[in-house]
Structure 1
Amino acid sequence: MSDAQALLAGLAAGCALLALFAAWRQARRGRRRDLDAVGWIDWTTVQMAALIALAVLAGLAFKA
């Protein structure tokens, strides 16, 4: 594996962690007690963007 592929794989792993974090935050947001206390980050959008970036980076990193 070249250095560029290792960098892309590391970025893909970071995107996977970000997607997991966003899913956890969205689950917490859905269980909040005070329904009027909404946040300013749409965690679903963050999760989808991270998953798309993960797919692209993983595809580039492990391209034959």
Structure 2
Amino acid sequence: MSHPTHEHNHPNAPAPHPTRPHQPRSVLAWPAWLRVLAVLPLLLTLWLAVWWANAGAGAVPW
């Protein structure tokens, strides 16, 4: 073969993979204050549910 079958005008190294713009991060990588804010609505909901269930059952607070 005297002529190449395709041109060799690309760099020798492969091109870097494009990064995804919104790559998910682990919750453990979040700062502590952000993790507390993420869990706070759930804890408040559970606390209100327990309070409501006890109030409906006529439980007497200690």
- TM-score band by shorter chain is 0.3 to 0.5
The structure richer in helix per residue is 1
Q: TM-score, normalised by structure 2?
A: 0.39
Structure showing greater relative contact order (alpha-carbon pairs closer than 8 Å, 6 or more residues apart) = 1
- The structure with the larger Rg is 2
